DNA sequence: TGCCAAGCGGACGAGATCGTCCACTTGAGC
DNA sequence: GCTCAAGTGGACGATCTCGTCCGCTTGGCA
């Protein structure tokens, strides 16, 4: 019984119809979460996907698992943005684009901000390794941008969390108001510039960057 | 029967025991909302207040009414901060203190941020008059601070909403992390300074300031 | 002290959501 | 085509929350 997978077809161990249903559930989840928030009833997701609740629960035993899987693609985009930022020869431009990309995602993908904020406190997830790497990468980016004299010297890596979570809150409070979101991003980026450093800042947060959901691992979320 | 108030004792038309209960409910609501968020069951509030649910519903027919009343004092503090800011001979210092006061309130009073954000979309409340005045006052403050060359000329009154709501989101996502909150406030205030105006900003939000919950009227909230 | 309207509390029915269980269906290999 | 494990759907009991109803209590005034 154990290890005998000769009968299963897909590479993910799912039968063709099951894999199809899984995709429909994820699409439905994104749509429902965007419309009603991530607290929408599971049954609503199941109905929109055209499957029974049991099927939904079998694939995603908890709401959290469903949320993560539904927005794994967006999380991946965040992780990719970090890689691209590091690859940019101009570290400030990389930094700027990283922040803008993540914020644009939060702004455009309804439901994602809530998923983003919800995923945040979980620093003990199974993606610890990917997160550690993201943390290290981001610190490298910060150091480079500071060495280039573009990023203010007192910028602390945890300030990224501050920026992203506050932006998250803004787009949650004012969904659809793109101007407000863009305005905040512009203000924050300006104040991160070296030229903006006038007085001393209060002490940075003790937040571990480890909990940053920038790199959420593969796009499957299927354990 | 109508208009005969000869038998009622308090100036608010409530019997002494009822007035006492009302206060206990408000205290309990603040405590429960701080602990479990403003979506906590009404019955929990009633239990903590030591009253029956019927008593709670009689005083506050909707959760919204309870939330408003529970945080009316904090709203008043916001309104007072605006008045004081206008009275300050240094308009920038007034502006700065206004933002810091409101953000400190959001930071320190657990539950208030949620109430603040929840109260926000309601621009049609019965406090329209007070709000209009607050809006006018704030615009005066902005104009003065800009004339003094302290506030950047492209600052738009709706940017206050952007700042307060994003801060709101931050403290909601990271309750207890005062350093993060202070850091965001410092960054935002720096980027609002005239010296920080480097490039052009994206267009401001079309938000009406009318919806700003800065002035929520009297401290009673009892209609 | 007595009256009575204002005030009170808890039981209760309605409605929503959760997550499981089980009998039926179907895809994939032979 | 046949077999059967994987997959499915919806009914169901448990739990929670809401807001009202109604019989009892009490504060304030005469």
Q: Over the stretch B107-129, which tens digit does the pLDDT of each residue have?
A: 999 899 999 887 765 555 556 77
Q: What is the pLDDT of residue A187?
A: 98
pLDDT range class, residue B199, cuts 50, 70, 90: confident
**What's the CA A4/C1' D4 distance, rounded, in angstroms?**
15
The residue ranking higher by pLDDT, B97 or B130, is B97
Q: What is the pLDDT of residue A213?
A: 46
Hey, what CATH class is A16-63 in?
mainly alpha
Q: What is the pLDDT of residue A117?
A: 85
Contact B187 A174 (CB under 8 A): no
The residue ranking higher by pLDDT, B199 or B216, is B199
Interchain contact B77–A (C-beta under 8 A):
no
Lowest mean pLDDT among A33-47, B5-19, B78-92: B5-19
Contact A179 B205 (CB under 8 A): yes
Percentage of residues in chain B with pLDDT exceeding 70?
A: 84
Q: Which CATH number fits domain B72-211: 1.10.357.10, 3.30.70.580, 3.40.50.9100, 2.60.40.650?
A: 1.10.357.10
- Please report how many Cα atoms fall inside a 13 Å half-sphere around the Cα of residue B5, on the Cβ side: 8
Interface test with B, best of A169, A178, A211 (most B CBs within 10 A): A169
Q: If you measure CA to CA, which chain A residue comes closest to B180?
A: A205
Give the closest of B187, B195, B202 to A182, CB-based: B202
Parse chain B into domains and list their residue ranges: 16-70, 72-211
Contact B172 A169 (CB under 8 A): yes
Per-residue pLDDT of chain A (223 residues; tens, 9 = 90+): 333 444 455 568 899 999 999 999 999 999 999 999 999 999 999 999 999 999 999 999 999 999 999 999 999 999 999 999 999 999 999 999 999 999 999 999 999 999 988 776 555 555 677 788 898 999 999 999 999 999 999 999 999 999 999 999 999 999 999 999 999 999 999 999 999 988 899 999 987 655 444 433 333 333 2
- Please report how many Cα atoms fall inside a 13 Å half-sphere around the Cα of residue A78, on the Cβ side: 30
**Strand D positions with any atom < 7 Å from protein CB?**
5-11, 16-22, 26-30
pLDDT above 70 (res B43) = yes
Do A21 and A49 touch, CB atoms closer than 8 A?
Answer: yes
Question: Looking at beta carbons, which residues of chain B come within 8 Å of A180?
Answer: 158, 161-162, 165, 205, 207
Q: What is the pLDDT of residue A199?
A: 85
Q: What is the pLDDT of residue B10?
A: 58
Domain B16-70 homologous superfamily, CATH: Homeodomain-like (1.10.10.60)
Q: What is the pLDDT of residue B215?
A: 37
The mean per-residue pLDDT over the stretch B171-188 comes to 96
Q: What is the pLDDT of residue A1?
A: 39
Q: What is the pLDDT of residue A12?
A: 82
Q: What is the pLDDT of residue A4?
A: 43
């Amino acid at each position: 019984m154990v290890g005998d997978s000769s009968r299963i077809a897909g590479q993910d161990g799912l039968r063709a119809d099951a894999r199809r249903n899984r995709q429909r559930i994820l699409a439905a989840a994104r749509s429902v979460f965007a419309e009603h928030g991530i607290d929408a009833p599971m049954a609503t997701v199941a109905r929109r996907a055209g499957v029974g609740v049991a099927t939904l629960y079998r694939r995603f035993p908890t709401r959290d698992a469903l949320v993560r899987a539904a927005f794994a693609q967006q999380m991946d985009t965040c992780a990719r943005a970090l890689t691209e930022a590091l690859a940019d020869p101009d570290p400030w431009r990389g930094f700027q684009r990283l922040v803008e990309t993540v914020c644009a995602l939060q702004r455009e993908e309804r439901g994602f901000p809530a998923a983003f904020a919800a995923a945040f406190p979980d620093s003990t997830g199974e993606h610890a390794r990917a997160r550690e790497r993201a943390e290290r990468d981001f610190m490298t980016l910060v150091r480079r941008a500071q060495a280039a004299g573009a990023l203010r010297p007192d910028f602390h890596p945890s300030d990224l969390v501050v920026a992203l979570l506050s932006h998250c809150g803004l787009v949650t409070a004012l969904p659809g108001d793109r101007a407000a979101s863009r305005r905040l991003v512009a203000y924050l980026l300006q104040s991160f510039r070296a030229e903006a450093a006038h007085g001393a800042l209060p002490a940075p947060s003790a937040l571990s960057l480890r909990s940053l959901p920038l790199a959420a691992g593969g796009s499957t979320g299927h354990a």
